[in-house]
Structure formats: C-alpha cells, structure tokens
C-alpha cells in the first residue's frame, strides 16, 4: 500500500458529531480515565471529528480572546501588515487574505488570520517553525491571547493521554514527546460579504497537518466530510470545543484514526475561529507505533519528522514561503509529502 494513504474511508455516515465528556481524563481513578478515553477513541474512529465538554477552560479566557481578536482585526490593513507573517522567524504574525492556498483550491480563501506558536525564546531549541513569537504592540494583546493558548495547550496534553489509552497504549506514549511542541493557535477572521458568489469558500477542503486540532468558532460555517462522502454541518454547542484528527495522528495510529476532510463554506455572518493545532516535539519521529503493527496490520505509513512535515506542508501553502522556495532561499525537507497526502482525499473518497 502506498505510504500515507488508506484504502477506504473508515468513517461512519454520521449526520451529527459525537459529544464526549473528557472530565474523566483528569480523574485520579484510572478506570474513569480509561472510560473517558474509550469514548474519545470511539468518536475518533467513527467520525474523526467530535465535540468535547468537561474541558475545564475558563469562559473568561475565551471571552477575552474573542474581544481582543475582534479589536485587532478592526485595525487598518497597513497597521496589521506591520506584523506580516513573512517578517517572522517562526511563522508567526498577520496572514492577509490570499496569503495561503490549500490543495486544489480554485479561488482565494476569504479570511485573514494571526498565527501564534509556542514562544520559544531559547536559541538552542529554535527550528523553522519554532522560535520567538511576533507579537503586535497592541496593548493587552499578549495578555489576553497567551492565557488562552496555555490553557488549550494543557487540554491538548490531556487529550494526548486520552488518545493513547484509547489505542491501548501506555498513557504517556505521546505526552512524553511534548516539551517544546510547534503547536500553533490561529486567530481567524471571516468577513461577511453578501455580494460574493455562493460557492466562495471561507477555507477550501483540507485535512490538518498536526496530530489533532482543538477548535473554538463563534458562528456556523464549518462542514466535515462523513463516510458516505456527504458534507455535514457542525453547529455551535455552548461550552464545547470541536476536536478533529490530523495527519500525524493518522500515521501514529497506523490508520486506526483517520484525518477528516473539512472546509468552511461562504459565511452568512461575521465569523471568528480559533483552531489550536496540537503537535508533538519538532524532532519526534512520526510512524506507526510498534504496538499497533502486526502481521495482520503492517505499517501503512513511512516515517516522517513531526516538525519537518509541518514545515513542508506550510511551505507548500503560504505564498511568502513558496516564493522563498522558488528563489532557492529554502528547501523542502527530504522526503516531504505533497499536500493532501492523508485522510479521505488520499483514499479517494472525495
């Protein structure tokens, strides 16, 4: 079998996303952690997309995040471009409309964004996607965004332990590789324009590069692809986060969990979205775990390096990096995969 591809779409023909209470993952009782993990794993297998409740993230953190994001994107374009992502050393900063384009996109995504990564201030540990953040000088920006980043990063650690238990692995299988992860928070703004054609996407169909994503949107618009090849709406749920499996978890689980294609349709109102892309440490080898490989289930994916896969996919998506690649100022990591090498698109189900 071609590495990085699955033969069939394993997801069910779900019409709504499963809801999982993850509060048990923080219990001191191993049986409660296992019970919550099993629900988490079942949802990942059935849909690759789910809601989580019982996460423990203070509502105040989310409210401050949303308010500060709205204030930032209301600034003049020239002011925002002072923090253009192309000025950064770790792929952080302002992303104007048209800067990124996903696999197979026929039009420019109608969105702008601000990307925040793991704020790596130690030079010895810097990598192409890991370094000091480019913070705007807007008063209160860092003070409102950083607590949310840190709390969602902690939730990601907890989910990593849950996914390990769900796969029958030691609880720290993934979390032992989370010391300085290139885990990125995106602040995304989808302006509302009623004059755009109905088929204009907010974001075109894609899978996420990392292990999984923790998403908080403020308005509808997200759609996910089910096992029957149908696009399913993801409505808002109070106090819930949306979780979806990404490329790297698909490979680590040897296809037990498969990355789900998703997109944002033309928005019907002003929309903000906050995906946190949860990753393992930059130099972690991503390959099917030995415990999940057998004669009946041979390895279905070739090894790749977590940070290098993320960097390669980002180079192929962002215009400023594509231009540097064309000028010979950077190179794709050895063995880099093309865009959309995982998930249902890879399996031909779209």
- Is the pLDDT at 202 greater than 70? The verdict is no
Residue 340 pLDDT exceeds 60: no
pLDDT on residue 138: 96
Q: In the chain, what are the domain boundaries?
A: 19-347
* Residues 213-228, mean pLDDT to the nearest whole number: 91
- What are the backbone dihedrals phi and psi of residue 232, each rounded to the nearest 5 degrees, phi first? -115, 130
- The crossing angle, in degrees rounded to 10, of helices 30-46 and 141-166 is 90
Looking at every residue in the chain, the average pLDDT score rounds to 88
CB-based contacts of 282, cutoff 8 Å, min separation 6: 127, 129, 130, 180, 181, 182, 305, 306, 307
Instruction: Provide the pLDDT confidence category of residue 104 given band limits of 50, 70 and 90.
Output: low
Q: What is the pTM of this model?
A: 0.90
Neighbours of 69 (CB within 10 A): 23
Higher pLDDT: 313 or 75? It is: 75
Three-point CA angle 198, 194, 82, nearest 5°: 105
Q: For residue 192, what pLDDT band results from cuts at 50, 70 and 90?
A: confident
Average of per-residue pLDDT across 208-232: 91
- Structure confidence at residue 350 as a pLDDT band (50, 70, 90): very low
Mean pLDDT of 1-18: 66
Residue 68 token pair: 């500060």
If you average pLDDT over residues 264-271, what whole number do you get? 74
CATH for 19-347, options being 3.40.50.2300, 2.60.120.330, 2.40.30.170, 2.60.120.10:
2.60.120.330
- Rounded Cα distance between 340 and 209, Å, is 9
């Amino acid at each position: 079998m071609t590495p990085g591809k699955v033969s069939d779409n394993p997801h069910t023909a779900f019409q709504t996303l499963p809801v999982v209470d993850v509060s048990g993952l923080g219990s001191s009782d191993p049986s409660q952690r296992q019970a919550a993990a099993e629900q988490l794993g079942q949802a990942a297998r059935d849909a690759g997309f789910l809601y989580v409740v019982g996460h423990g993230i203070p509502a105040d953190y989310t409210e401050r995040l949303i308010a500060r994001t709205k204030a930032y994107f209301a600034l003049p374009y020239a002011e925002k471009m002072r923090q253009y992502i192309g000025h950064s050393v770790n792929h952080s900063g302002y992303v104007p409309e048209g800067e990124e384009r996903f696999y197979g996109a026929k039009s420019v995504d109608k969105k702008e964004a601000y990307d925040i990564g793991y704020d790596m201030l130690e030079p010895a540990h810097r990598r192409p996607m890991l370094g000091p953040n480019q913070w705007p000088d807007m008063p209160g920006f860092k003070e409102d965004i950083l607590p949310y980043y840190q709390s969602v990063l902690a939730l990601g650690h907890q989910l990593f332990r849950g996914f390990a238990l769900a796969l029958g692995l030691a609880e720290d299988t993934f979390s032992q590789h989370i010391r300085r992860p290139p885990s990125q928070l995106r602040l995304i703004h989808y302006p509302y324009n009623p004059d755009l054609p109905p088929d204009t996407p907010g974001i075109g169909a894609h899978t996420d590069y990392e292990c999984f994503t923790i998403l908080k949107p403020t308005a509808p618009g997200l759609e996910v692809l089910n096992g029957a090849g149908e696009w399913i709406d993801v409505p808002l749920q109070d106090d819930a986060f949306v979780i979806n499996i990404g490329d790297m978890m698909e490979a680590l689980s040897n296809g037990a969990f498969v990355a789900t294609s998703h997109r944002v349709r033309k928005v019907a109102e002003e929309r903000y979205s906050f995906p946190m892309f949860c990753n393992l440490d930059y130099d972690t080898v991503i390959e099917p775990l030995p415990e999940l490989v057998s004669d009946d289930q041979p390895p279905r994916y070739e090894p790749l390096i977590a940070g290098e896969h993320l960097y390669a996919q980002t180079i192929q998506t962002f215009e400023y990096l594509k231009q540097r690649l064309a000028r010979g100022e950077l190179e794709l990591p050895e063995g880099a995969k093309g865009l959309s090498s995982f998930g249902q698109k890879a399996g031909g189900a779209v």
